[in-house]
Amino acid sequence: MILLIITTIAFSLFAVRLVDLQVIKGSDLAAQAINQRIKTQSIPAIRGSILDATGQPMATTVEARDVTADQTLIADPAAVGAALAPILGVDPGILANRLTGTRRYMFIAKGLSPTTWRAIEALRLPGIFSEETQRRIYPGGDLAANVVGFVGADGKGLGGIESSMQTLLAGKAGTQTYERGSGNRIITTSDVTSTASVQGSTVQLTIDRDIQLVAQRQIARQVLSARADSGTVVVLDPKSGHILAMATAPTFDSNTAASSPDNVRGNRAVSEIFEPGSTSKVMTMSAVVDQGAANAGTAFTIPGTLKRGGKVFHDDVAHGTWHLTLAGVLAKSSNLGTILASERIGGKKLNTYLQAFGIGESTDSGLPGESRGMIPDYKDWSPTTFPTLAFGQGLAVTSLQAASVFATIANNGLRVQPRIVKSIISPDGIATPTPTPTAIQVVKPSTAKQILLMLEGVVSKGGTAPKAAIPGYRVGGKTGTAQYVDPRCGCYNGEVVASFIGMAPADNPQLVVAVNLVNPRNGRFGGQIAAPVFKRVMTYALQARSIPPTGKTAPRLLLTAG
């Protein structure tokens, strides 16, 4: 009887438990069991490519594999680690540690090539699986890296066009849900659901990779030779606003961006600002001529010094009284002559022209991290602001803004918004050109033509940049050697930015090239160290774009008066 009673009680308990498990909690437990077997996996969208203007890839996506492990299925982690080590190039002990435990899902390696995964798959190691993914590669390495940018470990853009066009390039990931048994997918299950991924769009840039390559090589060479902190080259088509090249030195390889210093991964040509110095005199002279206050032949008597607002101004070289034409003032880059010329129109009108040239506003080129530059509000001008602005101090520009100023003159006074994106190509191959950039008439065409003639004088033997001359072509341009404002103290510390910006052919400009070198220690003046870079880059670009010499002789403007 006792045994019967105990047995009855035991069976009663089992019955209660069985009812609890199968009836009361049955549906919940079944759901939990299914959830343990069900896996939802993201199906990555193929990231769109980045192309140069000719359709050559600058960034593209290739198939890759992420290798994962189910630790509960690995009986001998040391043996599995030893087998994987030579293929992955990882220490066997490190792999053994990652393979040991009770985790059902553990990353072992990411972004492997399909060939590497096939070598692992051939080992038939229990508990080792793979997932389809993708890997971003940059065929040119450091080619236009500061423009193109790079992606992080999660595949998201972290710099350059990769960042600014992230949404378009990324597309939309899909999902796939399936049932697993003993760590493996059950192929025959009817419970598989999926949402297809949507491929990203392709972004075609205005960059010409061949011109870009030459620009990068030349600025890197000159930064090294001049022992400069950095340098930039910008090549513009003044009529379309297309940025054909934008080179920065030092630079980095987009394929290994994570291992490069932070300070080389940005785009200095649009993010760093500096006082333009004498290259800014082009805007002052344009304003004076456009207002009819002087022309290329107008005579100026220039003393050795000028006192304005309680400050004594002087030129780069000490001199007695000079008698120069306005063309001569520009050719010799006289600060004092520029001040005298600007006083014929006054500060308010000069300020209007500086703003019309785009100083103090973003070019909206499509590049991330672009600075607006800086120009003081007219109401805040001190007695010395006007004269210093006239010859290029007290305002700040980016390399792209400075190039845009000269492109405006090269384009008959019409300022065309610079742009870096040529078109967006949808996944089905339909290309949509970017909208026509905005254009503003800054000065009259007749003014631009007169300034172009004056700029040719700068490249003549009597000017400051004969090293920029290109045999067979008429070339115009302007040198600049501006004091560099140290951002750490907001003061001048003796460092300079040496520049040369020019266009060719000067009688029908097709290209503008701007060169800037920051804090050169071997050489100082733009005509000495920036002009040769201009010459080499411009010479190649003219040939690459099949732009012939005009065959016309440049008219000789008088540089001296009296």
Is residue 190 flagged as an active site residue? no
At 393 the three-state DSSP class reads coil
Bridge pairing between strands 202-205 and 50-51: parallel
Closest to 113 in 3D by CA, of 62, 64, 68: 64
Closest CA to 481 of 464, 493, 469: 464
Question: Which DSSP state fits 13?
Answer: H
Q: From CA 457, how far away is CA 558, in angstroms rounded?
A: 9
Single out the residue of 373, 380, 314, 372 nearest to residue 347, CA to CA: 380
Burial class of residue 526, CB neighbours in 10 A (0-12, 13-18, 19+): buried
Q: In the beta sheet, which residues pair with residue 39?
A: 178
CA nearest neighbour of 239 among 547, 455, 555: 547
DSSP class of residue 21 equals I
- Neighbour-count burial for 468-482, b at 16+ CB within 10 Å, e otherwise: bbbeebbbbbbbbbb
CA-to-CA distance for 386 and 382, rounded, in angstroms? 8
Q: How far apart are CA 395 and CA 131, in angstroms?
A: 54
Q: b/e per residue, 116-154, with b = 16+ CB within 10 A?
A: bbeebeeeebebbbbbebbbbebebebbbbbbbbbbeee
φ, ψ at 357 (rounded to 5°): -75, -5
Q: Taking the alpha carbons of 529, 518, 452, 328 in that order, is the dihedral positive or negative?
A: negative
Closest to 530 (Cα-Cα) out of 209, 223, 250, 244 = 223
Rounded-to-integer distance, Cα 415 and Cα 409, Å: 8
**Which one from 49, 130, 278, 342 is the annotated catalytic residue?**
278
Q: What is the distance between the alpha carbons of residues 38 and 8, in angstroms, rounded to a whole number?
A: 40
**188: left (phi > 0), else alpha (psi -120 to 50), else beta?**
alpha
Tokens (6 digits) for 451: 């300034």
And the tokens for 424? 């967006």
Contact predicate 67/109, CB 8 Å: yes
Q: Are 134 and 155 in contact (CB under 8 A)?
A: yes
Active-site annotation, residues: 278
